[in-house]
Amino acid sequence: MRRQMAIALGIDTGGTYTDAVLVDHASGEVLAAAKALTTRHDLSVGIGQAIAAVFAAGQSRSPEDVHLVALSTTFATNAIAEGRGSPVCLLLIGYDRELMERYGFQQELATDDVVYLRGGHDVLGNEVTPLDEAAARQAILARRGRVEAFAVSGYFAVRNPAHELRLRALVEELTASAGGSALPVTCGHELSTRLNAVRRATTAALNARLIPLLRELIASVQRTLDERGIAAPLMVVKGDGSLVRAAWAMQRPIETILSGPAASAVGAWHLAGRGDVWVVDVGGTTTDIVALRDGQPRLNPEGARVGGWRTMVEAVDVHTTGLGGDSHVRADGHGRLRIGPRRVVPLCLLADEYPQVVDELRRQVAIQETSDARAQFLLLGRRPGNWLSEEDRALLHRLEAGPQSLSPLLGETRFGWLMRRRLEELEAQLVVQRAGFTPTDALHVLGRFQRWNAEASRLGAALLAAQANLSVETFCEQVVQGVSDRVATELVSKVLEDEVGLPDWEREPSAAALLARALSNPGVGDLACELRLRRPLVAIGAPVEAYMPGVANPLHTELVIPPHAAVANAVGAVAGTVVQRLRVLISPLEGGERFRLHLPDGVRDFGDLEEAVRHARQVMFPLVEARARQAGAEQAEVQMARHDRRAKVGGGWGEEVYLGTELTFTAVGRPSPARR
């Protein structure tokens, strides 16, 4: 009789690849790993392919053995960056409309449908104006059937959420269907307890926009798991690296932004066993750099920034650059090498699926094609809507037959620049994809990575190398070295950003020259330069053996490439714990004679500070533990951290004045492997 093993299934959907791993839940040992291409038009397709592949790799493992599934996804991050989201209404309580419009704050609210309502509290949590429920009812009813979610933000709701909670009840009452389901509502005070009314409103609106989208993804993933007989609970990685149940994530999808970089940091720690390092994750689309301190990814205290939006979500402090194995490589008019930031389909991968691509590349080599569109192709992306022009539809009809070479397409019209502009718009909308030469192709030519059609890579390299008067091998070596130099530059930039400020190498030629000498050591000139990174590098991602020695060596630091580095993100998805954190504030009243405790459901006053702290413990310990269990923890340990804020006072009035106390309650627990 086969012994049943408790297995965790980790899944990571990156910009290029979807990874899956099977991990022994007790020991943390990686039992099997597999990759599939990420299917951007429907992420569940690539997820299903990765799951099938990982069980094929771990032949003795059964879907019945899986007790936990954890998903790390770029879904929320990409949706925000690409401007996608469902129509939502933002209800603002106590905000000054004239002030918001005068200073342009309304442009930061992530939705054009904004309703200003009378009501609100002051900084101490006292009601200053009653909530205008009649106007709220009118606004909600007018949008029933027109929006898919609501967001609510009160100006000082973090000090007293009573009006936000009342608006939530109104939305649920007025939008409930005959079956009893109401539209989802996001309250700002539930996402952050920090003061900054505009950013809190933005965060609430972004969260509301994402709820319907993430619900669709989660439902799709659940169907994929059901089809394969996996009945384990589904967890999702948050942006701080912790885990929550899928049902929890669907209510707070904003907290899953930067899920991918967070999972990579956790996976690097789990695989390498090193607590104080710099983690560099080289993917197909981007390279992410994260600092690990005491085994934990460092969080951004200012809140995560994605796609131009500054949120109040505590997420991993990541430095991301548009550089990866699938970055577009081309030579400019002066023969200089350019890598990224555009992501394209590698020629080797394209030709593996469409062999006719090799014939077109041979034709271009034979005629010595010199246009800047050489070695580039277009292929279909996701299904378009009904807004395309006749010209766009004609182009897509041609692509239905397979990839089309870009150079002949541009040559069919006298107005090639108009075609270029329209193609860029279609690419931005993901309706078409571009294929071209990439660092992955360079590795195929050099024999350092062999998975797809190496002949297509060599032909593409020949077309680009000819313009630079280089041999194919020398050109490809320069591509690999160029990736290493870029990663090293971004790593140095991140270290400097944390310590002194983000450098601008384009405007600081002297600094750029010193950096170039430190990295490439040209051996010319009277001045040599050397840089030394004091902490080791942990490199993860499929191609790091090719690129990262060229990063660590000039920075004179230790390079650690752990086992299973290629799937570290998926490992990190199941290596995390459930963490729930709540903060409450105690404010002085009447010159410090009384103290107000600001709780998640209202305020309470006390005559003694320590009495307020004791009451906070009594209320918050069971509350944060219950939240951890709701988020998926089997059991949770709760701790409280206390920070008293005081300021020194001169002029003979005493040494210090009490300003307030912040209490942080944190519950940490292992995810529950209970069956669905």
Q: How confident is the model at residue 635 (pLDDT cuts 50, 70, 90)?
A: confident
Per-residue model confidence as pLDDT tens digits over 267-279: 999 999 998 999 9
CB 529 within 8 A of CB 565: no
The pLDDT, as a whole number, for residue 37 is 87
> What does the CA dihedral 661, 664, 665, 666 come to, rounded to 10 degrees?
-170
Q: What's the confidence (pLDDT) of residue 216?
A: 86
**How deeply is 404 buried, as exposed, middle or buried, from its count of CB atoms within 10 A (0-12, 13-18, 19+)?**
middle
Q: Would you state the pLDDT for residue 179?
A: 63
> Which residue, 169, 208, 209, is CA-closest to 186?
208
pLDDT digits (tens, 9 = 90+) for 296-329: 899 988 888 887 788 898 899 998 888 999 999 9
**Would you state the pLDDT for residue 238?**
94
By the 8 A CB rule, do 150 and 210 touch? no
Q: For residue 34, which of 145, 658, 447, 48 has the smallest C-alpha distance?
A: 48
The mean predicted confidence, pLDDT, of the chain is 89
Mean pLDDT of 484-505: 92
**Quick one: pLDDT band at residue 1, thresholds 50, 70, 90?**
very low
User: DSSP label at 519?
Assistant: H
Strands 404-405 and 537-540, sheet pairing: unpaired
Percent of the chain with pLDDT over 90: 62
Specify the pTM.
Answer: 0.85
Where in the chain are the domains?
88-147+149-183, 577-669
- Judged on CB neighbours under 10 Å (0-12, 13-18, 19+), 545 is middle
Between 413 and 463, whose confidence is greater? 463
pLDDT of residue 522: 66
Give the torsion through C-alpha atoms of 226, 229, 231, 233, to 10 deg. Answer: -60
Q: Given pLDDT bands bounded at 50, 70 and 90, which one contains residue 2?
A: very low
Query: In the chain, pLDDT over 70 holds for what percent of residues?
Result: 94
Answer yes or no: are the C-beta atoms of 661 and 644 closer than 8 Å: yes
Q: Which of 83-97, 373-387, 405-419, 549-563 has the highest mean pLDDT?
A: 549-563
pLDDT in tens, 152-177: 999 999 999 999 999 999 999 999 87
Q: What confidence tier does 440 reach under pLDDT thresholds 50, 70, 90? A: very high
Checking if the pLDDT of 413 tops 50, the result is: yes
pLDDT one-digit tens code per residue, 80-92? 876 778 899 999 9
> Looking at residue 637, what DSSP letter applies?
E
Strands (E), 574-655: 578-589, 594-599, 602-606, 637-648
Tell me the per-residue pLDDT of 564-595, one tens digit each, with 9 for 90 and over.
Answer: 999 999 999 999 899 999 999 999 998 888 99
Task: Out of 17-21, 35-39, 54-58, give the one with best mean pLDDT.
Answer: 17-21
Q: What is the pLDDT of residue 652?
A: 54
Q: What is the pLDDT of residue 178?
A: 59
Question: Please, are residues 624 and 641 in contact by the beta-carbon 8 Å criterion?
Answer: no
